[in-house]
């Protein structure tokens, strides 16, 4: 099994940087990022359990740590960390990453997450090759990023989906 994998996902938003940054401030204060993290991690664990066996399905996200939003004229940044509990009760870091917003044109903003992802330790992650870990990590981060992107572009559009999961 590989210990960890680097992951990076980026999407273009059809909204200006200043509007997206203002919405990101609201999301940070409103608790949307932790909810999006929980949903994305849970979806990823379901997929991982299909590949690695039922022990992986017992892994749960235990905590989400978000650093304060830092802003400049051309960037908004939040460092995030996901802590999870493995099937055997061991606490482990599942993700250390940076979420960034940067202008990519007059009415286009790039939203990205780059960082390091760890699969569950022990039997839950045993035998996973680098390609599988990377695919799972990319799916988890992609799901998280899609939720955040939808909230930034269509603030009312995802509220029901995230609340209902």
Q: At what angle do helices 32-52 and 17-30 cross, to 10 degrees?
A: 80
Burial of 59 (0-12, 13-18, 19+ CB in 10 A): buried
User: In this model, does residue 107 exceed pLDDT 80?
Assistant: yes
- Look at residue 62 in the predicted model and tell me its pLDDT: 93
Give me the residue spans of the domains in the chain: 5-164
**Confidence at 158, pLDDT banded by 50, 70, 90:** very low
Rounded-to-integer distance, Cα 22 and Cα 42, Å: 28
The structure's pTM equals: 0.84
- Mean pLDDT, the chain, as a whole number? 85
Helix (H, G, I), strand (E, B) or coil at 1: coil
**Confidence at 144, pLDDT banded by 50, 70, 90:** very high
Strand partners, 106: none
What residues contact 130, with CB distance under 8 A and at least 6 apart?
Answer: 2, 5
By C-alpha distance, which of 142, 100, 88, 151 is closest to 117?
A: 142
User: In this model, does residue 131 exceed pLDDT 80?
Assistant: no
CATH architecture of 5-164: 2-Layer Sandwich (3.30)
- Look at residue 52 in the predicted model and tell me its pLDDT: 67
What pLDDT digit, counting tens, does each position of 19-33 carry?
Answer: 999 999 999 999 899
């Amino acid at each position: 099994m590989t210990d960890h994998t680097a992951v990076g996902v980026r999407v273009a938003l059809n909204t200006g940087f200043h509007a997206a940054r203002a919405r990101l401030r609201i999301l940070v204060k409103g608790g949307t990022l932790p909810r999006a993290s929980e949903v994305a991690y849970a979806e990823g664990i379901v997929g991982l359990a299909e590949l690695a066996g039922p022990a992986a399905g017992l892994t749960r996200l235990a905590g989400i740590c978000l650093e304060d939003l830092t802003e400049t004229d051309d960037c908004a940044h939040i460092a995030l960390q996901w802590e999870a509990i493995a099937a055997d009760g061991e606490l482990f870091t599942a993700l250390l990453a940076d979420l960034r917003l940067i202008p990519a044109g007059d009415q286009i903003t790039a939203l990205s997450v780059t960082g390091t992802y760890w699969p569950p330790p022990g039997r839950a992650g045993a035998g996973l090759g680098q390609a599988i870990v990377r695919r799972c990590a990319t799916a988890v981060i992609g799901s998280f990023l899609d939720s955040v992107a939808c909230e930034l572009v269509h603030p009312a559009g995802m509220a029901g989906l995230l609340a209902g999961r």
